[in-house]
Amino acid sequence: MSFDLASRLAERRAAQLYRQRPLLDSPQGPQVRVDGRELLAFCSNDYLGLANHPQVIEAWQAGARRWGVGGGASHLVIGHSTPHHELEEALAAFTGRPRALLFSTGYMANLGAVTALLGQGDTVLEDRLNHASLLDAGLLSGARFSRYLHNDAASLAGRLEKAAGNTLVVTDGVFSMDGDLADLPALCAAAKKRDAWVMVDDAHGFGPLGANGGGIAEHFGLGTDEVQVLVGTLGKGFGTAGAFVAGSEELVETLVQFARPYIYTTSQPPALACATLKSLELLRAEGWRREHLNALIQRFRQGATEIGLTLMDSATPIQPILVGDSGRALRLSQLLRERGLLVTAIRPPTVPAGSARLRVTLSAAHSLAQLELLLEALAECWPQLATDDEESGHA
């Protein structure tokens, strides 16, 4: 008996769900070169436009000259360099938490935190639309796993009534495919009544949200008493790479002792931590980036509504256009690409069946003129999609 991989791949192609990697031949930014063509991109998570910032690049280069390239070993052996330590201290101060701990990726941070805190006899309760890394972490923890209705504190409360052992409520801060915010005040209140902890993965909130870019916890004014485990990634609003978990002294020490994805991984390059320190400085100091981004978001929503597009309840840089059918979503993405715009079609299993969409993401690096180009193209392409449907008999 052999693995029938060819059939699996053929089925995915037939269902219009086959994924391919665009080849980027330029730095991140609004104007990119992808698959040999110059395009205006609206699909990056570089929300503040820091991924190709000259000062961040310079900090990385200086860090490499001072500290070398590789981390060399795990943090617990000899891989915990001074830049790592300084970045952890800066992230702790930034989030208003006693401690922060660096991880190599957001996936590892989520997996490490949940599996270190929970085991058999415990309970993990997750939002139905949580990121795959959070769902995988819950399943791998060995705890009793249950999903509550999306952003529904009443549904969570019902599951909390049946929870046993140590109980962890896990939610995204900003949901990556819908762009909406978790109703953290209500979720935290429900958890507190049952003496449960709350873990928030604010991968898409740090940078765009909060008066100082401190994410959803700052946005709602929630501290360690309400959100005991706060996770952030550094490859989105920060523009670099890696992730962190922020919380109490006891939480971070527990992760150092028990989080396997932390213990058994070589540390990130020290120079990367130097770059992130610079991006954190820019993120905090240059409030105009958030102001401009918010102006772009408002203008996009206004323009898209005028065109007649179906948007989702999002006040964040993630602005999905709901299409429904995977084939139609791919077609709309292709029509835009023919006009020089890159907007990715998101299809199942990343999103629920029947909810394929174009995931527009905005960046502080986009100009208002570039946004108007997107809106003009959508105004042309959306009616064309309906015409194509009629001609193909799918109206």
Closest CA to 310 of 372, 358, 363, 343: 358
The residues annotated as belonging to the active site are: 176, 204, 236
Rama region for 16: left / alpha / beta (φ>0; ψ in -120 to 50; rest): left
Q: Between vectors from CA 234 to CA 150 and to CA 371, what angle results, nearest 5°?
A: 75
Query: What is the average pLDDT value for the chain, to the nearest integer?
Result: 96
Q: Known binder of ligand: residue 176?
A: yes
150 assigned to a ligand binding site: no
pLDDT digits (tens, 9 = 90+) for 329-347: 999 999 999 999 999 999 9
Residue with tokens 């208002």: 368
- Whole-model pTM: value is 0.95
Q: CB count, 10 Å around CB of 392?
A: 10
Q: Check the annotation: does 75 bind a ligand.
A: no
Sheet of strand 37-41, all strands in order from the earlier edge strand to the far edge: 31-34, 37-41, 341-342
Calpha distance 268→265 (Å, rounded):
9
Is the Cβ–Cβ distance between 160 and 125 less than 8 Å? yes
Q: How confident is the model at residue 1 (pLDDT cuts 50, 70, 90)?
A: low
* Residue 54: cis peptide before it, omega within 30 degrees of 0: no
Residue 233 is assigned to a ligand binding site? yes
Query: DSSP letter string over 138-180?
Result: HHHT-SEEEEEPTT-HHHHHHHHHT--SSEEEEEESB-TTT-P
350 annotated as a binding-site residue:
yes
- Classify strands 123-127 and 144-148 as parallel, antiparallel or unpaired: parallel
Q: What is the pLDDT of residues 102-153, one digit of tens each?
A: 999 999 999 999 999 999 999 999 999 999 999 999 999 999 999 999 999 9
| Residue position matching structure tokens 């952030």 | 232
Q: Check whether 388 has a pLDDT greater than 80.
A: no
Q: What percent of the chain has pLDDT over 70?
A: 98
